[in-house]
Amino acid sequence: MLTRAVRIVCLVGLAGLIIASHADAAPQQLMNKTITVGFGVSIPAKGSDGSTLITSRQTSRQIYVSTQSRVFVKVARRAGRASENKEVGPGDGGTTMRFVGNNLVGVLQFASGASQLMVTFDSSFQTCTASVIMGADRGKPIVWKGIDGRTYTSTGKPTVSGLICSIVQGNAFAG
């Protein structure tokens, strides 16, 4: 019988395959729009220095869909005093954000495990909802490099909170 973590990782892997092989162009209604997604993640963990703690970080993603259906992403992450900002686009080593039908899906691979962000739109593409799932291979913890440069190993289940999603007209990156 498959455990919940194995099912999640299988779903994340399957989503990655679907994204790679069946990614669609952006729906016309989302072109020249910016989608903003925000959420928090807390994971009980052990740091590479042996410390035990609950790691918490806030993440915000601005996703611009160009008039040519290209996806650009600006990510801001904060964990305590550490922060990280980066921008990626189709020509910069790329973003994993892809349209699959009317959903926008992205997969983030960790040293061990992965997370998936899925943005679902209403039928008029005026509102959105976001979901995040995280998982690892059966019997293995999630292992990731934190914003502070340390490596962390999960000792419990991740908790995702405060999911927000909004859509505005135009390019939030311009100016």
**Is residue 68 packed enough to be buried (19+ CB in 10 Å), middle (13-18) or exposed (0-12)?**
exposed
Q: What is the pLDDT along the chain (175 residues), one digit of tens a residue?
A: 434 444 444 444 444 444 444 457 899 999 999 999 999 999 999 999 999 999 999 999 999 999 999 999 999 999 989 999 999 888 666 678 899 988 999 998 999 999 999 999 999 999 999 999 999 988 899 999 999 999 999 999 999 999 999 999 999 888 6
In a domain? residue 152:
yes
What's the start-to-end Cα distance of the chain, in Å?
A: 53
Which pLDDT does position 46 carry in this prediction?
97
In a domain? residue 174:
no
In a domain? residue 135:
yes
HEC profile of 32-44: CEEEEEEEEEEEE
CB of 155 closer than 8 Å to CB of 141: yes
In a domain? residue 154:
yes
**Token pair of 97, please?**
């954000």
Question: What domain range is 11 assigned to?
Answer: 4-169
Q: Rounded to whole angstroms, how far apart are CA atoms 169 and 136?
A: 37
In a domain? residue 175:
no
Which pLDDT does position 138 carry in this prediction?
87
In a domain? residue 124:
yes
Q: How many domains does the chain have?
A: 1
